[in-house]
Amino acid sequence: MSSSSCDILIQGGGPVGFACTAWILQKFPDAKLTLLDRNPINDDDLANTDSRGIALSHGSKLLLDTINAWPKECAHIHRVHVSQAGRFGRALMTREELNQDALGHIIRYRDIHITLRQAIRVIQAKSPHFTWKHIHKDAEETAIQAKCIVHAEGGLFKKQDWVESGRDYGQSALVGLIEVENASSHQAWERFTAEGPLAVLPSHYGQNILNLVWCGSPESSQQRLQLSDEDFLSELQKEFGSRIGRFLKIQDRRLYELGLNYRKEITKDNEVWIGNAAQTLHPVAGQGLNLGLRDAFLLAGKLVGVFSGSAEDQSSVNLQNALHEYTQSRKADRTTTIVLTDFMARVFTSNLAPVVFARGLALSALQWLPPVKTALAHQMMFGRR
């Protein structure tokens, strides 16, 4: 058992913990900061890990650009087509009508992770009091005294060792990479099926290689995972239709259980929770990591304010005030994102006739009421300020 001390301890070497570390060190290279990471030291050992496509918003791109952590391998979304399988109601959002370069960007989870690790290595060279400590689950015990502990342990729904408030949607997401015959470039599709949303998103591999996120009941998702490639593609084709031609190939199928798990309080004494350690969301609106990055960015600013100051600035009272301000500043964005995502996850999965009808109306309203569409897109891209 080893023992050491620092001002800030960031526990969790995922995208949110790394981003927070980088923003603190970039603004205040002298920070006495320790980062605990459970992943392998070598990036090559992450090459075959989590390949799921993650939608990052333009707001997240602007944030990651500030620390040179925007992955090179990325696909841009210029149009999103939303519809209901076999029912009325559809909406199309384009970058032109929202006056943006892109509506979002799709990047593999592991590429976000690795690019952030590389950005930290560059920043590390100028940060004399930064320690990046690799720990191995159950194999090493660490006792580090810290003035502030940032929890960024993240995790997936049902795999987290804390459960506070939330909802089990009784749904799993089957993700994979598909090849199709005739996709339009830079187009994303979100289709609401009887069992949940089915998203087909661009990838950086080319116009006809797309990321699939197919939500369904845990039982049918498990069955789909086990189907032969041929049977899987035929089921998918039935559910999605022929808008992008035939489905030709599927690879790298993985399953994730979905739910909402969030903490009522995100700070306590000298501890603070960010990213998935604070809230784990359904991916229907692609908001989890986007929200976590905004958590990390705002927290970094508050902690720099405390620890770059005089001994008096660094008092525990001052730290607690800063954490209180942080909680207040995250309230609106966090609540709106959790409520909106939960609403979408429930409404777009219900098969009750009135809900199906209202959903069709809502999609039509989105299509025909540009201010509603713009407001929704703005929330998705930048969060609530």
Ligand X SMILES: Cc1cc2nc3c(=O)[nH]c(=O)nc-3n(C[C@H](O)[C@H](O)[C@H](O)COP(=O)(O)OP(=O)(O)OC[C@H]3O[C@@H](n4cnc5c(N)ncnc54)[C@H](O)[C@@H]3O)c2cc1C
Summarize as ranges the residues that interact with ligand X (CB under 6 A). 11-17, 36-39, 52, 54-55, 152-156, 173, 175, 213, 256, 275-277, 283, 286-290, 292
Shortest separation between residue 310's beta carbon and ligand X, angstroms = 31
Q: Which is nearer to ligand X, 272 or 356 (CB)?
A: 272
Shortest separation between residue 261's beta carbon and ligand X, angstroms = 11
Whose tokens are 């023992």? That residue is 3
Contact 67, 22 (CB under 8 A): yes
Contact 274, 294 (CB under 8 A): no
Q: Residue 188 carries which side chain, given as an amino acid letter? A: A
**43: Cβ contacts below 8 Å, ≥ 6 apart:** 114, 117, 118
Q: Which is nearer to ligand X, 157 or 247 (CB)?
A: 157
Shortest separation between residue 132's beta carbon and ligand X, angstroms = 11
Q: Residue 136 carries which side chain, given as an amino acid letter? A: H
Q: For residues 178 and 239, what is the distance between their CA atoms, to the nearest angstrom?
A: 14
Q: How does DSSP classify residue 277?
A: G
189 phi, psi to nearest 5 deg? -125, 135
Q: Residue 107 has which token pair?
A: 């990047």
Helix (H) or strand (E) holding 197: strand 196-202
Residue closest to 50 by CA, chosen among 64, 61, 39, 36: 39
Shortest separation between residue 122's beta carbon and ligand X, angstroms = 20
Contact 67, 300 (CB under 8 A): no
- C-alpha angle 103-104-106 in degrees, rounded to nearest 5: 145
Q: Which is nearer to ligand X, 290 or 356 (CB)?
A: 290
Shortest separation between residue 9's beta carbon and ligand X, angstroms = 10
Q: Which is nearer to ligand X, 55 or 123 (CB)?
A: 55
Shortest separation between residue 167's beta carbon and ligand X, angstroms = 15
Q: Which is nearer to ligand X, 203 or 290 (CB)?
A: 290
Q: Which is nearer to ligand X, 3 or 310 (CB)?
A: 3
Shortest separation between residue 57's beta carbon and ligand X, angstroms = 8
Q: Which is nearer to ligand X, 102 or 355 (CB)?
A: 102
Helix (H) or strand (E) holding 267: strand 267-268
